[in-house]
Amino acid sequence: MFVDLSCWINVIAMNYNAQTGSNFQADLIMNQRIHLFCSVVFIVTAICSSTLEAQTRSKEDPKFTRARHYMVETAVRQAGVTDERVLSSMLQTRRHEFVLRRDQFRAYLDAGVPIGSAQTISSPFIVAYMTQMLDPQPTDRVLEIGTGSGYQAAILSPLVKEVYSIEIVEALGKRAAKVLKKLKYENVFTKIGDGYKGWEEHAPFDKVIVTCSPEDVPQPLVDQLREGGLLIVPMGQRHQQTLYLMIKKDGKLVTEALRPTLFVPMTGAAEDARKVKPDPTDPQILNFDFEEGLDEKGFVKGWYYQRRLELIAGDEAPSGEHYVKFSNDVPGQHAHVMQGFAIDGRSVSAVDFEAHLKLENVKRGIYNEDIPVAMISFYDEDRRHLKDAVLDPLSFNKDWHKLEMKSIRVPIATKDAIVRIGMFGATGTAKFDAVKLTVSKKSN
């Protein structure tokens, strides 16, 4: 998974500050300027399997336990994951063990976190959502393509009989295997190899989960899935993907589109066979004025991770006949949409960014920085965050007005970027239209 909106958790900040003397919250705000915080008191009832019990016998720092509870409630349960077994596994699995030590303070944000080798650990919501849609059963033997950090395999472990996980990047595969062994996930088996080929000697599998994005489903994975088995995979172009759930019937896959998404590409043979590749020298925001409508599942086309958003038609739209409206009545709650695209900082040195915005009854959220914004975040080839460019409203409760930034410097190491628009913790209503990006300067 690439990057999702962050749910900034205050309890981590307080503990981190106390231990390191760093201004954790200020660092987070400067890094992404967006954060959400759960102020809801909740009770999570979890029935733990023997695997989870084995994992949790050793003492854990209470700050991680509290942060994980917040994460499960705000980023997973409130976002629509309802399977109690999945929620239990998410609650008990120590996500901070699966990221690099320097990034452990980010482990319980609703965000993808870089794990090295141009890969990321998927956001908690996506891990939970994919797990729920896979309908894991205690007798299932599951094939995972893309071990990454090992976190997805760890979530599946207490829910199924066996997990077979393949990672093409040797360094990641070895590190994940070490962590899984340390945490006693004894029913997870890993190997280094090209996931395109599957794991034939252990086939057939009841379920297949692909945590990287090919252009098409590799045939070996179809062959190794049992009749009636389920496969879940993000598929499509490099930055325009859809998460699909597939069932094998009469030797063929019957496909259901679930939702737009953004994952790192499947490398190896799958990437070699990719027909459509992005042009990083000509970055564009697709469906920038929302005129392309909704897909069959009710999501705005071209954008992903839609939360609390409506597509509105009417003469009020500054550009065309449509705009999007975000509504939120709970401070700190998710209300946003995103789009990723390729951009090469060696070819594009500066861009212009603009958006039209109308605010109604808007109030700040938990923090002063919780306000409606449009922003671009730039990332390097390892998915490390480089820089943000933020369009702030000059005042709240204002009629349609144009926000713009000219000649935004693009860091030379940039390979990808993500545009985010939404409430970002504020309450009230925010309407957006004509979210445009144009290249203002190319490198010589």
Starting at the earlier edge strand, list the strands of the sheet with 348-363.
309-313, 322-328, 427-442, 348-363, 401-409
- End-to-end alpha carbon distance in the chain: 33
Q: Alpha-carbon distance 61 to 14, whole Å?
A: 14
Query: Which single residue is written with the structure tokens 């070895």?
Result: 174
Alpha-carbon torsion angle 181, 184, 186, 192, nearest 10: -20
Q: Alpha-carbon distance 353 to 43, whole Å?
A: 43
Tally Cβ neighbours within 10 Å of residue 346: 13
Q: In whole angstroms, how far apart are CA 51 and each of 155, 184, 265, 305?
A: 10, 8, 31, 31
* Token couple for 265: 């590409």
CB under 8 Å to 278, separation ≥6 — which residues?
237, 238, 239, 341, 342
Pick the catalytic residue from 88, 89, 117, 122. 122
319 classed as catalytic: no
Nearest residue to 389 via CA among 24, 36, 32: 32
Q: In whole angstroms, how far apart are CA 338 and each of 219, 306, 375?
A: 31, 7, 10
Residues annotated catalytic, as ranges: 122
